C-alpha cells in the first residue's frame, strides 16, 4: 500500500504550497491519533525550507517531544535555509548522486524493454548529462527518443544537447600535440556554433578519460598543464569575456605548455652536462701529449696575434661571447674577472659552444661553484639548446733563473760632520769611521780637504734633508 501512495498512516505535505502556521497546526492535530494499521504514523514534509518562521516555531515543540508512534521526514534541497533549532533536533541523511554506470544500466534496461534502438556511446552522454539524477537522465532519454525517431545515436544526442562530438576532441588533441596551427584555427571556426564553456567542459572530461585509461598519447604532467589552462579560461568566461577569443587563447596556450620542461628534466640535463665536462677533461689530459717547451718558446708571437685577429673577424659569435662576459661582470665582478682570466673562446657551431679553460685551484673551484649561473647566461646568449664543451689546458710556468746577488763593498769614510739642528742650542758631534791601518795610499785612506768637504754629494743631501742651522767641521785629533 505504501508503494501505491494510498497508505492511511503516511501523510505527505508540500511545504512550498502549504507553508503557513495554520497548515502546521492542522498537521500537529493529526499527530494526536494513533496509526490505524501500521506501526508508526509517518509525516513527510517536502521542501521544508519553504516554511515560514512562525510555522517552524509552531513545529518545534512537536519535533522536540513527538509521540512514540509518530515519525517526521523532512525533505529539502537547501538545508542551510533551515533554522538552527530544527537542525539540532533532527538526524541528517544526505543523498549522494547516482553513479553514472548505474544510470547507464538503467537506461539500457528501459530502452530494451521499450524496443528502442540505441548506441551505447549516446546513452553514456545522456547519463553523464543527467549529473547523477536518474529523473533528469530519463527526461533526456525521452527527448532523444522523440528527436531521433526511435533510434538513439551519437549524432542525434550531440545535436539535441548542443555538445561537440568526441571524435572532434580526439582530432583537436592530436593537432595540439603536433602543433598544427592551421588545423586548430579551422577547429575554432567550426566550433563557433557551440558554446566555449561547453567545449572546455567536454575537453576536460576527455582528458580525464585519457588519464584514467593510462593512454600513451599524453603524459599526466601535460594533462595537468592543460587543466590549468582550462581553469583560467573558465574564470575569464565567468567575467563575460568573448567565448571564441577565450577558446582560441586556451588552445594556443596549450601548445605553448608543451614547450615547458619540468624541473626534474632540467636538473637531469644539468647533471649530464656537468658529467660531460668532467669526462672531457680526463680524455683530453690523456690523449693530448704535452707540447715541448722549446716549441712554445720558438713559436713566433707575431703569427699568433695575426691568427687571433683573423678569427675575430671571421667568427661572428665572438661578440656574443663578449656579451656573455659583460653579463657575468654585471652579476658578479669577481666571477667575471675569473672567467676572463681562465676561459678562451674557440668556436660555436651546431648548438655547441667550445672554449678552453686554464683554471686551477681557487679559480677552478669558483667556476664550479657558479656553474649554474654561467650555464644560464650561456643559454640566454647562445640559445636554450646550447651545450658547453670545455677543453682543459694546463699552464706551463717558466721557472726564473736565480740571479746571484752582487756583494756590495762597504764604503768607509774618515770625515766627521757635526750638524747643529735649528731646534737645539747645543752642538752635536758625529764621529767618523776610523781609517784602517792597512789602507795604504787608497783614496778612502786619504783625509779630505775641509774646504771642499761641503761640496760632497752625501753632505749636500744630508744638509738638504735635515736643514740644520749651523754646520761645523771638526778634525780628528
CATH code, domain with 248: 1.20.272
Same-domain status, 269 and 366: yes
The yes-or-no verdict on residue 62 having pLDDT over 80 is: yes
Is the per-residue pLDDT at 29 higher than 80?
yes
Cell of 473: 767641521
Q: Is residue 52 within 8 Å of 86, Cβ to Cβ?
A: no
416 falls in which pLDDT band (50, 70, 90)? very low
Q: What distance in Å separates the CA atoms of residue 233 and residue 201, rounded to the nearest whole number?
A: 11
Is the per-residue pLDDT at 434 higher than 70? Answer: no
Of 50-54, 262-266, 316-320, which one has max mean pLDDT? Answer: 50-54
Residue 298 has pLDDT above 80, yes or no: no
User: According to the model, what pLDDT value does residue 264 have?
Assistant: 66
* Claim to verify: residue 268 and residue 293 sit in the same structural domain: yes
Q: Are residues 449 and 431 in the same domain?
A: yes
Residues 149 and 62 in one domain: no
Q: State mean pLDDT over 263-273.
A: 75
Section 148-161 average pLDDT: 82
In-domain check, residue 432: yes
In a domain, 92, yes or no: no
Dihedral, CA of residue 4, residue 7, residue 13 and residue 17, to nearest 10: 50
- In which band, very low, low, confident or very high, does the pLDDT at 1 lie, cut at 50, 70 and 90? low
Share of the chain above pLDDT 70, in %: 77
The pLDDT confidence band at residue 311, using thresholds 50, 70 and 90, is very low
Distance CA 389, CA 92 (A): 70
- If you average pLDDT over every residue of the chain, what do you get? 76
Q: Identify the bridge partners of residue 419 per DSSP, sorted by sequence position.
A: 471
* 3-class DSSP string for 371-427: HHHHHHHHHHHHCCCCEEEEEECCCCCCCCCCCCCCCCCCCCCCCCEEEECCCCCCC
Q: Report how far residue 133's alpha carbon sits from residue 122's, in angstroms, rounded to the nearest whole number.
A: 17
- Are 28 and 59 a contacting pair, CB within 8 Å? yes
| pLDDT top residue among 128 and 429 | 128
| Res 361 pLDDT > 70 | yes
User: Which stretches within 41-149 are classed as H helix?
Assistant: 53-64, 84-87, 100-114, 120-129, 134-148
- What gap in Å lies between CA 426 and CA 199, rounded to an integer? 113
Please tell me the distance from the alpha carbon of residue 228 to that of residue 250, in angstroms, as a whole number. 10
Residue 80 located in a structural domain: yes
Give the 3-state secondary structure of residue 149.
Answer: coil
Whether 341 and 383 map to the same domain: the answer is: yes
Which one is predicted more confidently, 329 or 427? Answer: 329
> Does one domain contain both 345 and 278?
yes
Q: Is residue 93 part of a domain?
A: no
- Residue 398 inside a domain? The answer is no
Please, is 74 exposed, middle or buried when counting C-beta atoms within 10 Å of its C-beta (0-12, 13-18, 19+)? buried
Single out the residue in 257, 285, 316 at which a domain terminates: 257
- Residues 296 and 381 grouped into a single domain: yes
Residues 176 and 150 in one domain: no
Contacts of 133 (CB under 8 A, 6+ apart): 97, 98
Residue 76 lies in a domain: yes
Cα-based distances in Å from 15 to 45, 164, 236, 414: 6, 41, 40, 136
Provide the percentage of residues in the chain whose pLDDT is more than 90.
0
Mean pLDDT lowest among 16-25, 311-320, 352-361 = 311-320
Lowest mean pLDDT among 315-319, 338-342, 429-433: 429-433
Residues forming beta bridges with residue 388, ordered by sequence position: 353
Q: Residue 149 — very low, low, confident or very high, per pLDDT cuts 50/70/90?
A: confident
Report the distance separating Cα 195 and Cα 168, nearest Å: 15
> Given a cut of 70, is residue 414 above it in pLDDT?
no
Contact predicate 419/462, CB 8 Å:
yes
Phi first, then psi, for residue 201 (nearest 5°) are: -65, -45
User: Region 168-180: what's the mean pLDDT?
Assistant: 87
Q: Which one of 218, 236, 257 terminates a domain? A: 257
The whole-number pLDDT of residue 261 equals: 66
Average pLDDT over residues 145-169: 82
> Which pLDDT does position 288 carry in this prediction?
44
Q: Which long-range contacts (CB under 8 A, 24 or more apart) does 184-187 make?
A: 184/251, 184/252, 184/255, 187/251
Q: What is the CATH number of the domain that holds 42?
A: 3.40.50.300
Contacts of residue 395, defined as CB under 8 A and 6 or more positions apart, other chains included, come to 358, 360
Q: What is the mean pLDDT of residues 176-197?
A: 86
Domain of 126, CATH number, reads 1.10.8.60
Domain range holding 382?
263-392
Q: Indicate the number of domains in the chain.
A: 5
Q: Which of 26, 24, 28 is nearest to 15 (CA)?
A: 24
Average pLDDT over residues 372-383: 85
Q: What is the largest CA-CA distance in the chain?
A: 161
Instruction: Tell me, yes or no, whether 269 lies in a domain.
Output: yes
365 and 325 within one domain: yes
Torsion sign, CA atoms 411, 412, 417, 420: positive
Separation between Cα atoms, residue 336 and residue 326, nearest integer Å: 8
CA 283 to CA 278: how far, in whole Å? 9
Based on the fold, state whether residues 273 and 370 are members of the same structural domain: yes
Residues 371 and 268 grouped into a single domain? yes
pLDDT at 7: 78
Query: For residue 397, is it within any domain?
Result: no
Each residue's pLDDT tens digit, 92-123: 888 888 888 888 888 888 888 888 888 888 88
With cut-offs at 50, 70 and 90, classify the pLDDT of residue 432.
Answer: very low
Domain end, chosen from 224, 257, 290, is at: 257
DSSP 437: G
For range 226-252, the mean pLDDT: 87
* Beta strands 10-14 and 41-46, pairing class: parallel
- Reduced to 3 states (helix: H, G, I; strand: E, B; else coil), residue 168 is helix
Do 129 and 183 fall within a single domain? no
Split at pLDDT 50, 70, 90, the class of 443 is: low
- pLDDT band for position 278 (50/70/90)? very low
Lowest mean pLDDT among 64-68, 212-216, 401-405, 419-423: 419-423
Q: In the structure grid, which three cell numbers stand for residue 211, read together? A: 588519464
Amino acid at each position: 500500500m505504501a508503494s501505491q501512495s494510498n497508505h492511511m498512516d503516511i501523510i505527505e505535505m508540500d511545504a512550498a504550497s502549504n507553508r503557513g502556521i495554520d497548515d502546521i497546526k492542522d498537521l500537529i492535530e493529526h499527530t494526536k491519533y494513533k496509526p490505524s494499521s501500521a506501526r508508526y504514523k509517518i509525516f513527510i514534509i517536502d521542501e521544508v525550507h519553504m516554511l515560514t518562521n512562525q510555522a517552524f516555531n509552531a513545529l518545534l515543540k512537536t519535533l522536540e517531544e513527538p509521540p512514540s508512534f509518530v515519525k517526521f521526514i523532512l525533505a529539502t534541497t537547501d538545508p542551510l535555509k533551515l533554522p538552527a533549532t530544527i537542525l539540532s533536533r533532527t538526524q541528517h541523511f544526505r543523498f549522494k548522486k547516482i553513479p553514472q554506470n548505474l544510470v547507464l544500466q538503467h537506461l539500457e534496461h528501459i530502452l530494451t524493454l521499450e524496443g528502442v534502438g540505441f548506441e551505447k556511446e549516446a546513452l553514456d552522454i545522456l547519463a553523464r548529462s543527467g549529473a547523477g539524477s536518474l529523473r533528469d537522465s530519463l527526461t533526456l532519454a525521452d527527448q532523444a527518443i522523440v528527436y531521433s525517431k526511435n533510434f538513439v545515436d551519437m549524432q542525434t544526442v550531440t545535436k539535441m544537447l548542443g555538445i561537440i562530438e568526441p571524435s572532434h576532441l580526439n582530432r583537436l588533441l592530436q593537432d595540439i600535440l603536433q602543433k598544427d596551427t592551421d588545423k586548430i584555427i579551422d577547429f575554432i571556426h567550426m566550433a563557433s556554433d557551440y558554446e566555449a564553456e561547453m567545449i572546455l567542459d567536454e575537453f576536460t572530461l576527455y582528458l580525464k578519460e585519457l588519464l584514467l585509461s593510462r593512454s600513451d598519447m599524453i603524459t599526466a604532467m601535460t594533462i595537468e598543464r592543460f587543466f590549468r589552462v582550462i581553469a583560467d579560461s573558465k574564470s575569464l568566461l565567468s567575467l563575460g569575456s568573448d567565448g571564441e577569443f577565450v577558446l582560441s587563447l586556451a588552445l594556443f596556450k596549450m601548445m605553448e605548455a608543451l614547450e615547458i620542461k619540468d624541473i626534474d628534466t632540467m636538473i637531469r640535463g644539468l647533471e649530464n652536462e656537468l658529467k660531460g665536462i668532467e669526462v672531457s677533461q680526463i680524455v683530453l689530459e690523456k690523449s693530448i701529449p704535452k707540447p715541448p717547451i722549446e716549441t712554445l718558446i720558438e713559436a713566433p708571437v707575431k703569427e699568433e696575434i695575426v691568427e687571433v685577429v683573423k678569427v675575430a673577424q671571421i667568427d661572428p659569435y665572438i661578440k656574443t661571447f663578449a656579451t656573455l662576459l659583460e653579463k657575468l661582470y654585471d652579476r658578479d665582478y669577481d666571477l667575471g674577472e675569473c672567467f676572463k682570466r681562465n676561459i678562451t673562446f674557440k668556436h660555436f657551431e651546431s648548438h655547441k659552444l667550445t672554449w678552453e679553460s686554464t683554471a686551477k685551484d681557487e679559480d677552478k673551484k669558483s667556476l664550479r661553484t657558479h656553474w649554474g649561473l654561467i650555464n644560464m647566461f650561456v643559454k640566454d646568449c647562445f640559445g636554450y639548446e646550447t651545450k658547453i664543451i670545455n677543453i682543459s689546458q694546463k699552464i706551463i710556468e717558466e721557472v726564473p733563473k736565480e740571479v746571484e746577488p752582487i756583494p756590495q763593498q762597504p764604503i768607509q769614510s774618515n770625515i766627521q760632520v757635526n750638524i747643529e739642528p735649528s731646534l737645539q742650542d747645543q752642538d752635536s758631534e758625529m764621529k767618523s769611521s776610523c781609517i784602517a791601518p792597512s789602507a795604504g795610499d787608497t783614496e778612502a785612506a786619504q783625509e779630505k780637504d775641509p774646504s771642499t768637504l761641503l761640496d760632497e754629494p752625501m753632505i749636500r743631501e744630508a744638509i738638504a734633508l735635515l736643514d740644520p742651522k749651523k754646520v761645523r767641521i771638526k778634525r780628528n785629533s
